[in-house]
Structure 1
C-alpha cells in the first residue's frame, strides 16, 4: 500500500510580505523596485564589497594569460576534430567547473556545431564509489584516466590549491599515456601547476580564483569554437568532409 503525502497551504510557512504594498499594486515583477533590498548589517556589506573587489585581481591575472587560453582553445579544436577527446576532473566546486566545460563541448557553447567527446571523471558516481572502495580515493581519477585516456587526448585538472593528491595522481598517470595535461589553479607555486604540461594559474584568493576558472574556460571555449568554425569553413571550401 502506497501512502501519498501532501501539504496544504495552511501547513506551509508564511513568507514576510514584500515591501511596497500588496499583490497587484506597485511595480511590475522583475523591475528593480519590485524587490527592494533587505536591511544589511555593515559587516555583511563590507564582506560582500571585499569579495567583489577581489574579483579584479582574478580578472587581471586572466587577462595576462589571454594568449595561453587562446592557444589552448585552438589546440583543443585541432585535437578534437582529429578524433581525440577531453577528460576533466576537479574536487567540490572545481568538479562543477570541470562538468561545465564538458557540457559546453558535448552540447554547444554559442553557435551550432558538431558535438565532441568530453568526459567529467567525477560525474560517474558508480565508477567513483567503486574505485574509491576497491582502490582508495587516491585512485579515483587516475584509474579513469587509464580507462579512457588515449595518446593525444587532453586532461584538464582544476584545483584552486593545486595540491589535491587525487589530481596529482591523475596527472602522473596521464603523462605515462601521452595524454596532455592542462591545469587551472590558484596562486603559484603549487604542485599541480608544476607537474602538468601547461597551467593557467590565477593569482587571487581561492573563491575568486575558482570564479576566474569559469571565465577562463568560457574564454577558451570561444577560441575553440572560432577554430572549429574556421577549419570547418576551410574544409567545406576544399570539399573535405568534416566529422
Structure 2
C-alpha cells in the first residue's frame, strides 16, 4: 500500500476520529519517553532483572499473574522465558498462573475469586522463587492476596502497576509506570517485561558469536 493510499485512509476518518488517533499516538509516545527517562523505573527494572537472574541460577522459578489484559501479559511474559526472546537459548523456568481453567474455576468456586492466584502461589511457590503480580490499579484483590501468600512462602515479590496504585502489601519491588491511563500502563508493562527478560536472557544465556 502506497503512502498516498495510507493518507487517504486516514483522511477518510471523521475529523474527530483522526484527532483521537493522533492524540492517542502522541500520548503513547510521551508516556514511553517519560518512562525511558524515569531513573527510578530504570533502577527498578535493573533490580528485578538481577533478582530473577539470581533466582533462576539457583533453580528457582518465576510465577506471573494478572487480570484481563494483564492476564494476557502474564502468559506473554512466561512464554518469553520458556521459549525465547531475542535469540535461541535454553528455556527459563516461568509459569503463568492464569492458564489452568480447571484450577482457576475450582478455586474461584470453592474459595472465591480473590484467591484464584494465592492458592496457586501457596501450592507452587517455594523459597527462592519470584512472584510477579501485574495490576494497573494496584488494587486487584486477587493480586493483593497472592502477594500476601508469596510473602508467607518466602517468595520474592514484584509488582507492575501504575502511577496511582493503591495500598499494596510490602512488595520487594514495585514498578510504577508514570501514567494513570490503563492502556498506556499496559503498554509500558509489556515493554518493561521485554527489557527484564532480555537482561535475564543475556545474563544466563550469553549469545555465542558465530565462528
Is the TM-score greater than 0.5? yes
Partner of 1:37, secondary structure, is: helix
The Cα offsets for residues 41-90 of structure 1, whole Å up to 9 and x where unpaired, read as 11111211222222112441244222321232222122112100000000
Q: C-alpha separation between the residues in 1 aligned to 2:77 and 2:123? A: 20
2:153 — aligned with what?
177
CA RMSD of aligned residues (A): 1.9
Q: C-alpha separation between the residues in 2 aligned to 1:128 and 1:176? A: 21
Query: Are 2:143 and 1:158 aligned?
Result: no
Could you tell me how far 1:207 is from its partner in structure 2?
1.0
Query: Are 2:16 and 1:43 aligned?
Result: yes
1:200 — aligned with what?
175
1:61 — aligned with what?
35
The Cα offsets for residues 132-157 of structure 1, whole Å up to 9 and x where unpaired, read as 01111111000000011001100011
The Cα offsets for residues 201-234 of structure 1, whole Å up to 9 and x where unpaired, read as 011121101111011111111211121135x98x
1:216 — aligned with what?
192
Matching residue within 107, 113, 120 for 1:137:
113
2:48 — aligned with what?
72
Could you tell me how far 1:111 is from its partner in structure 2?
1.6
Q: C-alpha separation between the residues in 2 aligned to 1:178 and 1:146? A: 10
Query: 1:78-117 to 2 correspondence within 5 Å?
Result: 78-117=54-93
Partner of 1:162, secondary structure, is: coil
Larger radius of gyration: 1
Q: C-alpha separation between the residues in 2 aligned to 1:34 and 1:228? A: 46
Partner of 1:108, secondary structure, is: coil
The runs of 5 or more residues in structure 1 that have no matched partner are 1-29, 234-243
Partner of 2:198, secondary structure, is: helix
Partner of 2:157, secondary structure, is: strand
Partner of 2:159, secondary structure, is: strand
Could you tell me how far 1:110 is from its partner in structure 2?
1.1
The runs of 5 or more residues in structure 2 that have no matched partner are none
Say if 2:31 and 2:178, in contact at 8 Å, map to a contact too. yes
Q: C-alpha separation between the residues in 2 aligned to 1:214 and 1:199? A: 15
The total of aligned residue pairs comes to: 202
Q: C-alpha separation between the residues in 2 aligned to 1:42 and 1:32? A: 19
Q: C-alpha separation between the residues in 1 aligned to 2:45 and 2:98? A: 24
Q: C-alpha separation between the residues in 1 aligned to 2:139 and 2:156? A: 19
Partner of 1:132, secondary structure, is: helix
